[in-house]
A and B are shown apart, each in its own frame.
Chain A
């Protein structure tokens, strides 16, 4: 069941509030299904998803090198 609250409490229900709430819910349902692959062509691609971690070539500070951690690359000693 969908719980709808109006944007401003005017004391009565307005028909437009209901319609807009329904449309917004359906839009949100579609947005919930967005995958990173869908964003690749858009201008947000460099920023989203914002799960960025810093790493250093020479380990001088806190670093998280995901390639080394997951054994995709091996460090040359």
Chain B
């Protein structure tokens, strides 16, 4: 430890000075202040020095720079709004559309009585109960029992192959067994009523003979009640099964012709402006309707207000900020482009924006025909849209603007579309869920039915359902053979065995690549079948394993069975997950809409079924 003070002291100073024994060399050193540093903490404290320092800081921040500019004082805007008035599902007929129905429900709906679950047991019981409640005041008490006898709930028979989907599962079977013979199946009555105009509810009911005048209006109410219960399509609907997407088009009338919007690939489950494209080719959707509501023109003359938002930084240095939101505290990653854009907008361009409000009617298209701004120096400026330009220009993009279909170099479409989409949709648990996954080892695609609908109405895990079905068939085989089925015994002394094919669970439906018609290069996926091979069956007649979800059963219903082809590009490497569930929303007039809709999401990657051919299997030594 050096004692600094002592090293500076010259011992016996008086003698040294008098005797001049040491040289007295004088130097000068200067202390300079450096007002710069690398960290901004001290500077950001905005310490106050003298009055001139206020002005200096303002000069440094550029507050003394003058522009020859004026603030806007008056804005005149010309707007045109029009409503969506026509709808076309896929390639179906063009129908009028009004925004009394949410467009999602209109596009997504599917029939709940589609095969294979037809109308499930829970809805049947609901319908039966509703019918009996409706006629309770009018019909004699014996009528209920007679309806029950005439339209009973079906009792499943384990020996009937049509009832295997019910009898293989204990919970579904027990549901049916509990109500068979005790409750009325309302769906049978409904089908009877809609089959022909001459069918009456009182057909075959002895105690209601002659009461047609009373019962028929109730029957009509019953049919209308069911059709309102779940919103159902009249025709085929907008679902394209070879693409696993919805496709539909709407149009709104304009000054000349119509603006046609197409939603070509809608599968997200929630409809919004980005699902639509403008179709420039077709001037109108179907025939022009003379009764269509023409577009409404509005001219606004307003005083524009400056746009402010919470946390907007004050552009002057010597002002206190309200510290509720701190833009400077956001710490974005170098790849967080959206955050960086937001911070830049908030900090740099904050006070450059003015707002002219206008309420756009929902379910329509609004376009700004022109804006003229007058500033305080009485100069008028004509404003064009920021997103204007060539539609095909890669550098041009603006939020909320639709793109025009096709490659033609048309001017970009500058209208705002507010589709009549439901805001809050309550989505039930998926009734059906199919995962389409690529299997690279087997060089094919598997449609894995992860959730299958039960005849009793509940969804069930697909693998569990597959095992239970297989178990059911094995028990059937045991019942037929009389003894538990034995696999074929290997030859004496054999150490290895040749296995032609391994098995996959029954809920894995194969989709194999086939060439497109007339093309020997492009490939599509076609649904194939695995055979149900029972070990130990002495008289084998393998049946094909059929899918159990309506998503994959495409083409199996109806009198003539057709194959199901899926475009190969719809199953990417990550796979797709398609779910069908009941959805409910409350619309602007207060009415609740329930519909059955399908949704497609990214899958869970590639899958591997374990399907192998020509295997050599070791035979364990017999002890």
Contacts and interface: CB of A to CB of B under 8 A. Distances in A.
A51 B33 CA distance: 10
Contacts of B16: 60
Interface stretch (B21-29, B113-121, B511-519): B21-29
B319 to A, nearest CB: 16
Contacts of A65: 29
Given A32-B52, A33-B56, A74-B2, A58 B33 contact: no
Contacts of A33: 56, 59-60
B24 A53 contact: no
Given A28-B52, A33-B56, A33-B59, A52 B28 contact: yes
Interface string A21-58: 00001101110110111000000000001011111111
A68 B7 CA distance: 11
B558 interface: no
Nearest to B21: A58
Given A59-B10, A60-B10, A68-B4, A36 B55 contact: no
A4 interface: no
Contact of B56 (A29, A66, A77): A29
A29 to B, nearest CB: 4
Q: Which of B17, B26, B28 has the most CB of A within 10 A?
A: B26
Contacts of B33: 36, 49
Nearest to B9: A59
A10 interface: no
Contacts of B25: 56-58
Interface in B24-52: 24-36, 52
Nearest to A39: B32
A49 B32 contact: yes
B13 interface: yes
B430 to A, nearest CB: 68
A56 B24 contact: yes
A19 interface: no
B320 interface: no
Nearest to B6: A77
A9 B29 CA distance: 46
Contacts of A52: 28-30
A55 B35 CA distance: 25
B563 to A, nearest CB: 82
Contacts of B24: 56, 58, 60-61
B53 interface: yes
Given A26-B59, A49-B33, A54 B52 contact: no
Contacts of A56: 24-27
A33 B59 CA distance: 10
B498 interface: no
B52 A57 contact: no
A32 B27 contact: no
A58 B23 contact: yes
A61 B53 CA distance: 40
Given A25-B55, A29-B56, A57 B27 contact: yes
Nearest to B29: A66
Nearest to A71: B4
21 contacts: A26-B55, A26-B59, A29-B52, A29-B58, A30-B59, A33-B59, A35-B36, A49-B30, A49-B32, A52-B28, A55-B28, A56-B24, A56-B26, A57-B23, A59-B9, A59-B10, A60-B10, A60-B24, A65-B29, A68-B8, A75-B7
Given A29-B58, A65-B29, A77-B7, 17 more contacts: A25-B55, A28-B52, A28-B55, A29-B52, A32-B56, A35-B34, A51-B32, A52-B28, A52-B30, A53-B28, A54-B26, A55-B28, A60-B13, A60-B16, A60-B22, A67-B29, A68-B4
Query: Nearest 8 pairs between A and B by C-beta?
Result: A29-B55, A32-B56, A57-B25, A58-B22, A51-B31, A29-B56, A60-B24, A32-B52
